[in-house]
Amino acid sequence: MAESNEKLAGIAEKLLIGQFHRHVFLCAGDACCAGVGREAAQAAWDALKDILKEKHLSLATGPCACYRTKVGCLRVCTGGPVMVVYPEGTWYGNMTADRIPRFVQEHLIEGKPVEEWVFARNPLPTADA
Ligand code: FES
């Protein structure tokens, strides 16, 4: 049976969906992470989760509030873990756990992408444009 929109809206409210300024997608898929291995991909995801929580950026409000999603493929399929950050559309490669603290501090908190790790850009138009 399909869930009601009311139930889904309640879940979204608990997750603070509607409050976020950024959304980070991290790919832990086997193809792009073949060079580092599945454990390293999971370690990157765990590091992202832990640091966002520690810095009070997830399940948060304010200009640095960030939603995170682990995905199975972003269609790049090499040089992983691959990550993309919206709305800027900043694409990062080789985002292993050791890179996550600097990424969170410089990009998500200070608003300055870590240029030497960026391999592509695709900023999205704002929804109200
Ligand atoms: S498996 Fe990560 S981009 Fe395809």
Pocket test of ligand 1: the residue of 69, 74, 96, 119 to mutate, having most ligand atoms within 8 Å of its CB, is 74
52 and 44 in contact (C-beta within 8 Å)? no
Atom of ligand 1 nearest to the CA of 71: 2
**Ligand 1 centre and the CA of 99: distance in Å?**
18
Atom of ligand 1 nearest to the CA of 31: 1
| Alpha carbons 48 and 58: distance in angstroms, whole number | 10
- As a whole number of angstroms, the distance between CA 27 and CA 40 comes to 12
The H or E element that residue 26 is part of is strand 22-27
First to last CA, the chain: 37
Task: Give me the sign of the Cα torsion angle 10, 15, 18, 23.
Answer: negative
Tens-digit pLDDT profile for residues 43-84? 999 999 999 999 999 988 888 999 999 999 999 999 999 999
- Pull the structure tokens for residue 81: 């873990």
Summarize pLDDT for 5-35 with one digit per residue, the tens: 999 999 999 999 999 999 999 999 999 999 9
Among the atoms of ligand 1, which is closest to the Cα of residue 80? 2
Q: Which residues line ligand 1 at a C-beta cut-off of 6 Å? A: 27, 29, 31-32, 73-77, 80, 82
- Ligand 1 centre to CA of 109 (Å) is 26
Domains and CATH numbers, the chain: 19-121 (3.40.30.10)
The 10 Å Cβ neighbour count of residue 124 is 10
pTM score: 0.94
Nearest CA to 114 out of 97, 96, 98, 91 is that of 91
CA of 80 to the centre of ligand 1 (A): 7
